Amino acid sequence: MSRITYKREIAPGIILMDVKAPSVAEKARAGQFIILMTDEMGERIPITITDRENGTVRMVFQVVGKTTAKLSAVEVGAELFSFVGPLGRPSEIDNYGSVVTVGGGTGIASVYPITRALKEAGNRVTSIIGAKTKDLLIFEEEMRKVSTELLVTTDDGSYGRKGLVTQVLDEILQRNKDVRKVWVVGPAPMMKATCDITRPHRVKTIVSLNSIMVDGTGMCGTCRVTVAGETKFTCIDGPEFDGHLVDWHEFLNRLNRYREQEQHAFEAYKREQGVRKRPR
């Protein structure tokens, strides 16, 4: 059992939660995730390990459906039914020289441990973070502390530069030919768009795929993706892959496959609980 020790809504519909899980915290490395269940009858959902300290795992999630809504309602002091990890392969951290990390939406909290590890390894890390609007921008101060340079965008121009993270990345790659590698974590269309920007510059780009998962052990096949023409499983071969080799058409199709059922489940849950639909 894993007890929730802290919970805070850091932006509308975005929750930061600490869970006491010493064995997970001890082994976790940048890029890894956990799969949790709120209760015995609940679904299993993957969430990135944002930080770990004193036997506690920190995660940041957005309320988008039934299980994230249920998780946001679990009180501090309560136990989660299961909390398994660390899962997935850690990020490949090395001293590459000059690198860029890009985070969009809640992906900012997921790119944070990768950025920190890259900086600790001696890289010059330029970070670009973006959100739809100022209210939804998270982890700005945390990212500033672990980046050599931090650039901020909002889609509506309410804070930082108006526009998308991809525009800023394109400008950086135009003027700095020394960038060796890019990491990007965020909504799938944003990760695909980032790969479209970096491809002509021939800069290797690592994406963290947010595939739908069930068992997290490579057995069920739910998280199957095609990378360089080969079948891979995000839970055991990923979640990070070379974004230039991902079959994005297949990936985006698979991500949307259960959208109707997911929406029905969320609507039914909200009717039961009176939970307000959160902005996405």
Ligand X SMILES: Cc1cc2nc3c(=O)[nH]c(=O)nc-3n(C[C@H](O)[C@H](O)[C@H](O)COP(=O)(O)OP(=O)(O)OC[C@H]3O[C@@H](n4cnc5c(N)ncnc54)[C@H](O)[C@@H]3O)c2cc1C
Q: Which residues here bind ligand X, judged by CB under 6 A?
A: 33, 43, 45-48, 59-62, 64-68, 106, 110, 210-213, 234, 239, 259, 262-263, 265-266
- Which bin fits 170, alpha (ψ -120 to 50), beta or left (φ > 0)? alpha
**Residues 208-247 within binding reach of ligand FES (CB under 6 A):** 213-216, 218-223, 233, 235
Q: How far is the CB of 231 from ligand FES (least distance, A)?
A: 11
Query: Which residue's CB is nearer to ligand FES, number 65 or number 104?
Result: 65
Using DSSP's 3-state secondary structure scheme, residue 96 falls into: coil
From the list ligand X, ligand FES, none, which binds 222 (C-beta under 5 to 8 Å, kind-based)?
ligand FES
Q: How far is the CB of 105 from ligand X (least distance, A)?
A: 8
Q: How far is the CB of 267 from ligand X (least distance, A)?
A: 10
Residue 77's identity, in one-letter code, is G
> Within 13 A of 6's CA, how many CA atoms are on the CB side?
12
Query: Which residue's CB is nearer to ligand FES, number 233 or number 266?
Result: 233
Q: Residue 59 to residues 33, 50, 56, 111, 220: CA-CA distances in angstroms?
A: 9, 5, 10, 12, 25
Query: Which residue's CB is nearer to ligand FES, number 15 or number 35?
Result: 35
Distance CA 70, CA 276 (A): 12
Residue 146's identity, in one-letter code, is V
Size of the site for ligand FES (CB under 6 A): 12
Residue recorded with tokens 């079959």 = 247
Question: Which stretches of the chain bind ligand FES, using CB under 6 A?
Answer: 213-216, 218-223, 233, 235
